[in-house]
Amino acid sequence: RAWSPSTMRILVTGGAGFIGSNLCRLALAEGVVPVVVDDASGGVDFLPEGVERHRVAVADLPQRRDLLAGVDAVVHLAAKPSVDFANREPLAALDANVGDTLRALLAAADAGVPRFVCASSNAAAGNVAGPVHERVLPQPASVYGATKTAAEAFCSAVSLSHGLDAVSLRFSNCYGPHSDHKQSAVHLFVRKALAREPVVVFGDGDQTRDFIYVEDIARCILAAAAAPCGPVLQVGTGVETTVRELVAAIEKATGERLAVESAPPRMGDVRASVSDVRLAEEQLGWRPRVAFEEGIARTVAYYRERLGA
Supply the residues annotated as catalytic: 144
Q: Angle between the 243-254 and 292-307 helix axes, to the nearest 10 degrees?
A: 50
* φ, ψ dihedrals at 166, nearest 5°: -115, 145
Q: Where are the beta strands (DSSP E) in the chain?
A: 9-13, 33-38, 52-55, 73-76, 115-121, 165-171, 173-175, 199-202, 208-209, 211-213, 232-235, 241-242, 260-263
Q: Angle between the 243-254 and 185-195 helix axes, to the nearest 10 degrees?
A: 40
Cα dihedral 210, 214, 220, 224 sign: positive
Cβ atoms of 291 and 229 within 8 Å: the answer is no
User: Which residues are CB-contacts of 297 (< 8 A; sequence separation ≥ 6)?
Assistant: 253
Going by the DSSP 8-state scheme, the letter that residue 192 receives in this structure is H
- Which CA distances in Å does 200 have to 5, 137, 210, 248, 251? 44, 32, 19, 14, 15
User: Which residues are CB-contacts of 134 (< 8 A; sequence separation ≥ 6)?
Assistant: 232, 233, 234, 279
Residues forming a β-bridge with 33? 9
* φ, ψ dihedrals at 155, nearest 5°: -60, -45
Going by the DSSP 8-state scheme, the letter that residue 275 receives in this structure is B
